[in-house]
Structure 1
Amino acid sequence: MRAHEAGALHGNDAAPTWLPYPSDVNTLIDGLWSRTPRRTEDGAVEVGGVSVARIAEEVGTPAFVLDEDDFRHRARAFRDAFAEAFRPLAGADVYYAGKAFLCGAVARWVEEDGLGLDVCTGGELAVALRAGFPGERIALHGNNKSLAEIRRALEAGVGRIVVDSLDEIDLVDAIAAELGLRAAVMLRVTTGVEAHTHEFIATAHEDQKFGLSLTGGTAFEAVRRVLVAEHLDLVGLHSHIGSQIFDTAGFEVAARRVLDLVAQVRDELDHTITQLDLGGGFGVMYNTQHTPSTPEALASGIAGIVEKQCHELELEVPHVSFEPGRAIAGPSTQTLYSVGTVKDVRLGGPHHRLYVSVDGGMSDNVRTALYDADYSCLLSGRVSEEQPEVVRVVGKHCESGDIVVKDEYLPADVRRGDLVSVPVTGAYCYSLASNYNHVPRPPVIAVKDGEIRTLIRRETEEDLLGLDVG
C-alpha cells in the first residue's frame, strides 16, 4: 500500500454530496424506519410501543430491536404481491431467505404467514426443523453441501435441494439411493448477469463460486444428468443475480437466458421444465440515497418480463418462486447503542471530524467494513435543539475500520450516555456477527404492543469462556 501524509485523505468535515442537511435533526426519516417508531412526549423514540430508554434499562445495549409487526407485514406484502401478479399465469411462491436473519421465532412467523423458507447450511436447517417448519416448504441452498447436510435434508423431506455443481448431482443421487427415496432438485444456473442497484453487467458474473454456467453448456449437461439419474426428480431451474436490486432490468436479461435453456431442454431432451426460481436480492433504503421499489412494483414488473419472454420462445409460463430476505428482515430492525467517548479530532485549519464511539461495532455490524456499506443513525433517547453536526459513529474494537456509520448528522451536543439507533440492521448484521476482541454478541429482542420478548439472548463472558477448553 502506498503511503500518504497523515490526515491528507481523512478528516474533512464536509458532508458527502448525497447527504442532505436536515431541517430537523430529530426527525425519523420516512422509509428508513420500521412501521411503528415515533417520538414520545419525553423525546425518546418508541418502537412497538416500547421506549428505547426502557429497552436500554431492561435489556441493555447494544441490542437488536426487531419490530415484529413490521417484519410480518413485509413478509405478507411480498407473499400477496407475487401471488396476485402471477395469478393469471402459473402462480408464484415466496421463500424467506433465512441467511438474512434466522431464529426459531422468525421461522415460526414465516411458516404462519404462508411463506416457504430458504436455508443454505445445516445449521440454518436445524433451526428450521426445531421450530417445526414443514420440510416440504424448505429449500436447501449451498455451493459446498456436506454429505451430512444432504442426508439430513433428504431425511427431513425438504421440498427441493438446489444443486450447485455437477459433482453434487452424483452426491444427492447416491444419498437418495441409500435412503430409498427420490430427491427433488433444482439446478442453480449462472446467467452471466450481475445486478447491482440500477446497473447490470452482462457476462461479468461468470467468475464466481456459485452455479452451473450457461456458457459452454455446463448447465445443459447438468439437466441431462439429472434427467437420467435414477433417484432424482428435476423440479426446475434457479437463478440469482445479486443484491440491493432496485428495479427489474437485470431480471429481464437473466430470465431470458434461463428461459433459453428451458427451450433448449424442450427441443433437445423432450422435457418440459415447469418451475423457475429467480432468487431475491430486492433492495432496501439504508439512507436517503436509496430508492427501493415496492413489492407490488417488483412483482408486476417481473411477471410482465416472464410472460413476454415465454411468449417469444413459445413456452408455457412456469410456476415462479422468489427469495426475499433483506427486504423483509432489514427494515424491521434497529440496533440500539449507548454512546461512550465523543472525540473531536482536529488536524489544523478547517479539517476535523467528530467521532462518536458506541458500545458495539464491527462485531455486531461488519457490513460497513466488509462491503463499504452506508448506514444512517439517530439520537433516539432524547431530542436536541443544537445544530446538526456531521459525525462518524465508530465501535469499540481495535480496528481503524471499525465504523458503524461513516457520515450522518447528529446534534452537536451528542454526549456520553446518549442512546443512538441505527436503522435497517435486521439483515446480515446478527447473521454476520462475531466475537472479535472477545466481545459477546448482542441480544435480539422483539417488540410488539408494548411488550418485549427475547428471541436470542445476550451472550455472556461465561459463554465465551465455556468454549475455551484448552
Structure 2
Amino acid sequence: MRAHEAGALHGDHGNRGPAWLRTPEDVNGLVPQLWPRTVTRADAGALEIGGVSVLDLAAEYGTPAYFLDEEDLRSRCRDFASAFAGADVYYAGKSFLCKAVVKVVNEEGLFLDVCTGGELAVALAAGFPAERMGFHGNNKSLSELTRALDAGVGRIILDSFQEIDRLTALATERGVRPKVLIRVTVGVEAHTHEFIATAHEDQKFGFSLAGGAAFEAAIRVLDEGVLDLHGLHSHIGSQIFDTSGFEVATRRVVELQAQIRDARGVELAELDLGGGFGIAYTTQDDPSPAADLAKRINKIIASECDASSLKIPKLSIEPGRAIVGPSVFTLYEVGTVKDVDGIRTYVSVDGGMSDNIRTALYDASYSATLAGRKSEAPPLLARVVGKHCESGDIVVKDEFLPADVQPGDLLAVPGTGAYCRSMASNYNHVPRPPVVAVRDGASRVIVRRETEDDLLALDVG
C-alpha cells in the first residue's frame, strides 16, 4: 500500500504513512509541498519562517495569527508570470486582499481581479493601476459599475443580461466604451465541492452555453456597439488538479468563438480560462507546477483553435489560491486536550471557524504540526478544533500529533492564505487575527488584529 493511500485510510493528512509506520521523526518532519518555501524546523525544534522563529512571532504578535511568507508569495507570482509568458495573469483578489498584497502583485507585474466595490476600493487605495484590473461579480450594483467606469477599470466581465443593460446605459451617459468579456457557463462538472464548482449549468454565474444565452449575449453586445466585446471568459471551479476540465471548457468556448465569427465576422481577441488551480492542503493533494499547467493549457488552446480555424487569442488566467494559499500558515496555541472515552482525542486551539470556515463550509481537509518544539512522543491521531460554540467548529479533521501535545503548545496549520482571512468572521464576538508578513529575518503587521473596541465601535446601541 502506498503511503498516501495508507494515510487516506488512517486519517493521516499532515505527514507521511500510517500510524504503525510512524516515528517521532515523522511527526516532527515537514512535507515541503504543504508549507511556505522559507519554512524550516530549527535544530532546537521550533518552526522558522523567513528566518524568524515562531516562538518570537507568537511572543510579539500573539495567537491566533496568520503568517505570510513574503518571499514565497513573490516567487509564486513570478512562477505564474514566467510560465504564462505572453498571457495576462490576474491575481484573484477574492482569495486574500489587503494593500500590502496588492502592492506585491503590482510590483511583480501581475494584473488584478476584483469582484466587489470593497475589493476595488482596497486596490485603488494601494495604488494599483485601474487599467490592469478586471471586475467580476454576478450581481454588480449600479454604484459598483459606476465606480469601475469612473476609475477606468481595464475590463468588466459581464454576467447577466440585466448587467449588459446597466453597463450600456452607464457607458452611454459617460461617453465611454469599456472593454468587456462575456462569462460563459460551459457545463463542465469540475471535480470539486459543489459550492466551489462554477461551470455546471445549475448555478448563478454566467451565461449558459447550452441554452444559447452566451451566444445571444455576445451578439447583443456586438450589435449595440456601445461596449467593446473583447473576449469570452470561463471559470470551471476551484481546487482543481485535473486539466481535463479545462480541455472541455476550452473546446466549448472556442466553438462559441467560431460561432460568433461565423455570425458577425468578428474574431474575439481574448480567452480567459479563469483559475481554480489546486494546491496541497494534505499529502493526498498533488498540484501541478505553473510551468506544467501553462504547457498543457497552451497546447489545448492551440489544438482547439486550429480545429476551428481561429487565430489563437490572447490568454488570460486568474490564479488566486495557487499564489497566496501556500504562502501562509496560521499559528494557534493549544488550550485543552481532551480524550473522549478512547473514541477520539480533541486538541482545542484559540481560534477556529472564525479564522478558517472552510472545514465547516466545504468539508475541507487541512494539516497541522507541533510548531514550537520537537517531540519524541509516539504519534497520536487527533482532531484539532476551535473555541466556538459549534460541534462543527473543526480546524483539522484528523492529524497525527505527538502524544504529549499539551496546553500552551503552538500548533501551525499550513495552506491558509486563501479564503481564510477573506472569509473570517466575528462569530461569538471573537476579534479577527492579524496578518503578519515575514521576510529576510524581519516581520511586520500588514493587517492588524481586531480588538474588542473595534467590535464595540460598530454597535451603536
RMSD of the alignment, in Å?
A: 1.6
Shift of 1:271: 1.2
Question: Which residue of 1 is the match for residue 17 of structure 2?
Answer: 20
**Which residue of structure 1 aligns with residue 452 of structure 2?**
461
Equivalent residue number for residue 406 of structure 1 = 397
Q: Greater shift after overlay, 310-319 or 22-31?
A: 22-31
**For residues 281-324 of structure 1, what are the alpha-carbon distances to aligned partners after superposition, in whole Å with 9 as ceiling and x for unaligned?**
00000001111111011000000000000111111110010000
Match of residue 216 from structure 1: 211
Which residue of 200, 207, 223 corresponds with 1:205? 200
Q: Which moved more, 1:247-256 or 1:370-379?
A: 247-256
Cα distance between partner residues in 1 of 2:211 and 2:310: 23
Instruction: Find 2:421's aligned residue among 405, 430, 433.
Output: 430
Q: Quote the Cα distance in structure 1 between the aligned partners of 2:398 and 2:215.
A: 48
Q: 2:355 aligns with which of 348, 356, 364?
A: 364
Matched residue, 1:9: none
Structure 1 contact 197–247 (Cα < 8 Å) conserved = no
The correspondence for 1:34, drawn from 30, 33, 36, is: 36
Residue 433 of structure 1 aligns to a residue whose secondary structure is coil
- Residue 4 of structure 2: aligned partner: none
How has the CA–CA distance of structure 1 residues 203 and 182 changed in structure 2, closer, same or farther, with 3 Å as cutoff? Answer: closer
Corresponding position of 1:238: 233
| 1:264 counterpart SS class | helix
For the pair 1:382 / 2:373, whether they are aligned, the reply is: yes
Q: Which residue of 2 aligns with 1:260?
A: 255
Q: Distance in 1 between matches of 2:347 and 2:52?
A: 25
Amino acid at match of 2:298: A
Please give the secondary structure, in 1, of the residue aligned with 2:90. strand
Equivalent of 1:162 in 127, 148, 157: 157
Matched, 1:331 2:322: no
Equivalent AA in structure 2 for residue 288 of structure 1:
T
Give the TM-score normalised by the residue count of structure 1: 0.92
CA contact (8 A) 1:198 1:247 kept: no
Q: Does 1:125 align with 2:120?
A: yes
**Counterpart Cα distance in 2 of 1:422 and 1:162:** 35
Q: Kindly provide the amino acid, as one letter, of the partner of residue 82 in structure 2.
A: D
* 8 A Cα contact 1:238 1:276, kept in partner: yes
Farther off after superposition, 298-307 or 190-199: 190-199
Which residue does 1:68 correspond to in 2?
70
Whole-Å separation in 2 of the counterparts to 1:305 and 1:209: 27
CA–CA distance in 2 between the matches of 1:243 and 1:77? Answer: 19
Q: Between Structure 1 and Structure 2, how many residues are aligned?
A: 444
In structure 1, C-alpha distance between the alignment counterparts of 2:319 and 2:189, rounded to whole Å = 17
Asked if structure 2 preserves the Cα contact closer than 8 Å seen for 1:247 and 1:298, the reply is: no
Task: For residue 438 of structure 2, give the secondary structure of its aligned residue in structure 1.
Answer: strand
Instruction: Give the AA of the match of 1:465.
Output: L
Contact 1:173 1:230 in 2 (8 A): no
In structure 2, C-alpha distance between the alignment counterparts of 1:298 and 1:247, rounded to whole Å: 10
Q: Deviations over 1:400-440 (max 9, x none)?
A: 00000000000000000000000000000000000000000
- Listed as ranges, the gaps of 5+ residues in structure 2 are 1-8
Task: Please state how far the C-alpha of 1:203 moved relative to its aligned partner.
Answer: 11
Unpaired segments ≥5 residues, structure 1: 1-13, 84-90
Q: CA deviation at 1:197?
A: 5.6
Post-superposition offset of 1:227: 0.8
Q: Distance in 2 between matches of 1:228 and 1:34?
A: 49
- Residue 439 of structure 1 is matched in structure 2 by 430
Residue aligning to 1:171: 166
Alpha-carbon shift at residue 179 of structure 1 (Å): 1.7
Query: Which residue matches 1:43?
Result: 45
Distance 1:196 1:75 in 2: 25
Is the 1:339–1:418 contact (alpha carbons within 8 Å) kept by the matching residues of 2?
yes
Q: Tell me the equivalent position of 2:137.
A: 142
**Structure 1 residues 321 and 197, CA gap change in structure 2 (3 angstroms):** same
- The structure with the greater share of residues assigned to helix is 2
Partner of 1:353: 344
The CA distance in 2 between the partners of 1:216 and 1:182, in whole Å, is 28
- The CA distance in 2 between the partners of 1:260 and 1:61, in whole Å, is 52
- Matched residue type, 1:231: V
Change (3 A) 1:300 1:329: same
One-letter amino acid matched to 1:366:
I
8 A Cα contact 2:198 2:237, kept in partner:
no
Instruction: Please tell me whether the aligned partners of residues 327 and 415 of structure 2 are also in contact (alpha carbons under 8 angstroms).
Output: yes
Letter in 2 for 1:271: V
